[in-house]
Chain A
């Protein structure tokens, strides 16, 4: 067994980072631990804290120890610090210091920059738990409830992952940042979370699936970029987090897919030929496809804002410094330095959207966003296959990247989902056809009724194709009655 694969489960904090040999760090984390548990109890899932939930816990970081399934009470979940195995003689893969040995300690000149990206990544993790804390009460099935809680405990673990880096490598500053991660609150007026999309509400399960599909996918892209980092502890942390993040993608993609499947099924059974006939579709108690499209438009556009400004010196500096690479940098075949390269960037010039070649280094946010859009497109294509299979012409589409933006080139530009620039009056008139409107919100809210019988699913969502851990359909994923 290679070094660092062993997870020590004996202490308060399961880990494979030799916590027992580092008294200072252990003390720091054990001091932080009660605050975390308090945060979880206050801001984690509302209710269900005493119920047994069928969760997976990593018992090792190699593929074989990866997923152990068992009933766990959420506050007793083993939140640990798990790093992917070290790669021998790992080198910095990009930027000005490409080819030099990866850093095992924080390089002094990049200290502030590095701390900042770790804090930003760390801040999103508890934020999403806070955003989703009310959803347990309206879960459409025990299966979905379990998936929600799995996502929540793993976001909690991702917070631990970032706090470990702060506490281990950033001394007093790191300790304070770690405390602040527990202090900020999603949606709070006084101390909001750092990024916009993480202060939005997740009012219903359609939003939850959209969030896990679109916004957690931004998390995946950021983690992929940070997994390339020349700061080796960050790279190893993110590599392990990515394995968990895949489950969150799964919950989002299949959640929306099951809604679409159910809607198509109900429309077929009722003889409805026009999926746009929302009134008739809603009379069946399922979610009409145009409402799904509007939710998509919202979550996609909010998430694009997370990629930051299209042209960014900050992104260039992070890359040049070897701290944050491109998506799957190690699979790319250029010089990994990008000094003279260019990259096409969409700009807003005189009220029109045009493509312009920009220095590739400054355009890294744009590039990551493009990779993200392609990744989203794959999932949307699979959703459309379900609609196609059911024999309907309707297709879901990603809105134009300039639509409904609040950060970057297209901030507040009145653009429709096709990318056509509108005048303000026209935008206002069409807004409700493009973004979730009051009727959508009221209708979807009316469907949010808990279903907690074993093997039963709310009328608006189809059962999954396979159970978690290959469990049968009527498996009791959450023990509601003890």
Chain B
């Protein structure tokens, strides 16, 4: 298992919290959980990380994951009266984003620039890895709507995936993995693609077992004049209603919204980076429309025609969401980018940065980061705030989240 000293994640039960109710052992589909007179334990050689045992556990004792050099065998676990201390490299308070290597790598890449992220303190507990490449959930496509103007160059789609009778719990900010059918030129299965969920936890419509995704068709001209067409995005954008998709996940345990309705949320995005923020907004609108905390969105696109959800956004009242829609290619107008608008609203942004309940999220293309970072530095400075220090404080406090690609 642990080769070359690499750390592995081990699933453990906290004997100080466990009440020995046997629910996990009765639930485990592969018989990985066993007990003696003292403890309930997970056999590291048998556990498949299917997470079936996690939700039914009444205590939370089952939800422990330790990075270890070599897994503790069952016999050692029987002797414990408390869990061993985490190894040095497992940062205290960190949660695993994904137990699937492929998804974990994708998420690590997307979060690379934010530093080691932590979930907001009041975020709901996410479920991860319920479905795997070997045993994916099957969803049916029940909607495929273009949400950029017909004549716009950018083709962005709002897709609705229905899970029928299969429970697929997600939180706003989490991602799901899609497995395109077929194989690549070398005959290998296509890589998993991760997409942020664009709908609230209780479904695209309340209490439906579906979710929405925001997918942009990738069609980029190459230097030789040909056009590169993304495998997954073109498959998805052309998919007809009724088609079945293989879905893996959910993934993501840090880029989540605070449940605390007093928290202000500052959201900065471009393009399909708006997906999680649509989800945040929907959840607030449904669950706490009169919340004390406010939502502020800085959203950039080239033109209104190319801004995903431009039409629907016009109908969201300001009491729910303060919107700053920013366009860089409006005819007859100087180019304006997200960071320019942030500077223009320095009073609002600065005020938010100074508040202890503000949560800041950045989502979009990687190029967005530098401009935003520089704007935040200046805006903070004007408030006599040191951005690098504040940034680090917000990060460790679970209030700073950056997801770029």
A interface residues with partner B (beta carbon < 8 Å): 1, 5-6, 9, 59-60, 62-69, 71, 220, 242-243, 246-247, 249-250, 253-254, 378-379, 382, 385, 465-466, 468-472, 475
Contact = CB atoms under 8 A, between A and B. Distances in A.
A127 B54 CA distance: 30
Contacts, number: 83
A67 B55 contact: yes
A53 to B, nearest CB: 14
B124 A5 contact: no
Nearest to A67: B55
Contact of B55 (A64, A220, A468): A64
Most buried by B among A220, A250, A379, A469: A250
Given A249-B58, A470-B125, A472-B121, A63 B19 contact: no
B18 to A, nearest CB: 9
A212 B122 CA distance: 29
A249 B165 contact: no
17 contacts: A60-B165, A62-B52, A63-B27, A63-B54, A220-B21, A243-B27, A246-B19, A246-B57, A249-B58, A378-B37, A379-B19, A379-B20, A382-B19, A385-B81, A470-B60, A472-B122, A475-B122
B73 to A, nearest CB: 23
Interface string B102-122: 000000000000000000011
A63 B169 CA distance: 12
Given A64-B167, A65-B167, A466 B56 contact: no
Nearest to B121: A472
Given A64-B55, A249-B58, A466 B17 contact: yes
B66 to A, nearest CB: 16
B52 A470 contact: no
Interface string B51-88: 11111111110010000000000000000010000000
Given A1-B164, A63-B53, A254 B59 contact: yes
Contacts of B169: 64-65, 68
Contacts of A385: 81
A246 B58 contact: yes
Contacts of B58: 246-247, 249-250
B207 interface: yes
A66 B125 contact: no
Contacts of B51: 63-64
A59 B165 CA distance: 10
A175 B351 CA distance: 63
Nearest to A5: B165
A1 B125 contact: no
B60 A378 contact: no
A59 B201 CA distance: 13
Interface in B203-248: 207
B236 to A, nearest CB: 24
B43 to A, nearest CB: 18
B165 A66 contact: no
B340 interface: no
Contact of A254 (B19, B52, B63, B124): B19
A249 B17 CA distance: 12
B32 to A, nearest CB: 13
Given A67-B56, A242-B23, A468-B60, 19 more contacts: A1-B165, A1-B166, A5-B165, A63-B27, A63-B52, A64-B166, A64-B167, A69-B124, A242-B26, A246-B57, A250-B59, A253-B19, A378-B20, A379-B19, A466-B17, A466-B59, A470-B60, A471-B125, A472-B121
Contacts of A67: 55-56
B130 interface: yes
Contacts of B57: 246
Contacts of A250: 19, 21, 58-59
Nearest to B29: A63
B373 interface: no
Contacts of B121: 472
A472 B21 CA distance: 24
Contact of A64 (B81, B122, B130): B130
A249 B56 contact: no
B167 A59 contact: yes
Nearest to A227: B26
Contacts of A468: 60
Contacts of A465: 16-17
B95 to A, nearest CB: 9
B13 to A, nearest CB: 13
A66 B56 contact: yes
A332 B17 CA distance: 28
A26 B125 CA distance: 36
B56 A243 contact: yes
Nearest to B26: A242
A1 B209 CA distance: 14
A189 to B, nearest CB: 36
Interface string B164-198: 11111100000000000000000000000000000
Contact of B21 (A9, A69, A246, A469): A246
A64 B52 contact: yes
B113 to A, nearest CB: 27
Given A1-B164, A5-B165, A6-B165, A63 B59 contact: no
3 interchain residue pairs of minimum CB distance: A65-B167, A63-B52, A6-B165
Most buried by A among B17, B54, B56, B63: B56
B206 to A, nearest CB: 11
Contact of A466 (B60, B124, B130, B164): B60
Nearest to B16: A465
B106 to A, nearest CB: 22
Interface string B1-32: 00000000000000011011111001100000
B60 to A, nearest CB: 5
Contacts of B287: 71
A6 B55 CA distance: 17
Nearest to B15: A382
Given A1-B164, A465-B17, A470 B63 contact: yes
A381 to B, nearest CB: 9
Contacts of B165: 1, 5-6, 60
A304 B40 CA distance: 26
Contacts of B125: 69, 469-471
A345 B122 CA distance: 53
A255 to B, nearest CB: 11
A249 B21 contact: yes
Contacts of A378: 20, 37
Contacts of B124: 69, 469
B63 to A, nearest CB: 7
A112 B22 CA distance: 32
A289 B166 CA distance: 49
B19 A66 contact: no
Contacts of B17: 465-466
A6 B164 CA distance: 9
A246 B166 contact: no
A66 B55 contact: yes
Contact of A471 (B20, B122, B207): B122
A59 B56 CA distance: 12
A68 B167 CA distance: 11
Nearest to A217: B21
Nearest to A147: B58
A236 to B, nearest CB: 14
A293 to B, nearest CB: 20
B1 to A, nearest CB: 25
A465 B124 CA distance: 17
Contacts of A220: 21
Nearest to A71: B287
B308 to A, nearest CB: 28
Interface in B277-304: 287
